[in-house]
Structure 1
């Protein structure tokens, strides 16, 4: 006579043989697979917007010559390394939407119409980083002392951006040469934007974006706010398919200013506050 120890019922029914047939090794394996698939499906439903590429500072790699850039024979290229981050994708998209609304548009800073515009064909594949350089203050008609204090105020920085456009037009450009400019207070200014070819790097403009930090960083480093703003701009550019995920950040000591360039080397990319 068989005894079912769990139910405590006396019976002649061969429970152990029945259980062995009901839950055979093959069926148990299938059951485990089904449970795993169900769990993964629930996770995907719960976090359908969770898997996203997040910015991480990439290792520098030496690239070839940047032709057409005076004084630059070699450039450092920060290859962006992307890592998975378990966070709601909607959070990043919302942040990018807020960033886009915060960008000072051409109309807001008083840009004049471009003489000629040519759209970028497809998605930009390169990213060139510059500083506006020693001529920044001269273009705005400011002394070095006045310029340094000016760059901390948005109203004055807008005047500087306008002066830079005027200087580029007088120099034979079709418009301000950069796609975006960033002030030391972290405010981003629309130059030519994401979709229009710039005139920042000779021979490399057609499939690239040029970003310039406003100021001369030959001997002083840019502010943390400007670096964080550039990081956010790059992340959102990639997330919105304005930049390819593989786009490299390329610069040199004369392009970004020696102090800024050394900072990029020291930080192995942008010194972003997490």
Structure 2
């Protein structure tokens, strides 16, 4: 009797953690489960904003396909155990589950064990992030703090502040620099 009640509670907690913050789950977008996982210590104090340098998607159907293509690239071409990003952001203003809140991603060498990587789908040297995309990420970050995934004083940086890359693209980078948790001097972050 107690074992059954315990399993129901554990299942409820795992379901809540997996689907919280209005994130489109892997099962909803047709993603594959990871081959293996490493868990992040929580709460996390670093968020890295990136772009995928792929096609920009505007519809649910195209964003689902884009998420599937990105996961296939990471798993089939790069032989990673899962998609590199923690979350993907579609031009439709929806957030798609990648490695998620709990699992270590493979997005920024030297920082994966302590950060969440959020990738905007598109090339934001050319594309302009929509207000829906920006608001979706702001809402995700607030929810991450509220649910204990992120520290209240987390730092937010652009991918290019940590490694030699153009990511997250000039148009997206210009937007995130005005966000409250943006960290101008990323040199204080230690690998």
TM-score by length of 1: 0.54
Aligned counterpart for 1:269 among listed residues 173, 179, 184: 179
Query: Which one has a larger percent strand, Structure 1 or Structure 2?
Result: 1
Per the TM alignment, residue 106 of structure 1 is displaced from its structure 2 partner at its CA by 0.5
* CA distance in 2 between partners of 1:230 and 1:107 (Å): 21
CA contact (8 A) 1:123 1:207 kept: no
The SS at the match of 2:48 is: strand
1:255 aligns with 2:167: yes
CA contact (8 A) 2:39 2:103 kept: yes
Consecutive aligned runs of 4 or more in structure 1 exceeding 3 Å deviation: none
Structure 2 gaps of 5+ residues are 1-16, 181-191
1:132 aligns with 2:47: no
* CA distance in 1 between partners of 2:115 and 2:176 (Å): 20
Residue equivalent to 2:130: 223
CA contact (8 A) 2:63 2:92 kept: no
Instruction: Flag the structure with larger Rg.
Output: 1
Per the TM alignment, residue 115 of structure 1 is displaced from its structure 2 partner at its CA by 1.6
Q: Once the two structures are superposed, what CA deviation does each residue of 1:5-40 show, in whole Å capped at 9, x if it has no partner?
A: xxxxxxxxxxxxxxxxxxxxxxxxxxxxxxxxxxxx
Alignment length (residue pairs):
157
1:159 aligns with 2:77: no
Residue equivalent to 1:28: none
Per the TM alignment, residue 179 of structure 1 is displaced from its structure 2 partner at its CA by 0.7
* CA distance in 2 between partners of 1:199 and 1:101 (Å): 21
CA contact (8 A) 1:179 1:210 kept: yes
CA contact (8 A) 2:85 2:105 kept: yes
> RMSD between aligned alpha carbons?
1.9
TM-score by length of 2: 0.77
Per the TM alignment, residue 101 of structure 1 is displaced from its structure 2 partner at its CA by 6.5
Matches within 5 A, 1:177-192: 177-192=84-99
* CA distance in 2 between partners of 1:216 and 1:101 (Å): 25
CA contact (8 A) 2:39 2:104 kept: yes
Structure possessing the higher relative contact order (Cα contacts under 8 Å, 6 or more residues apart)? 2
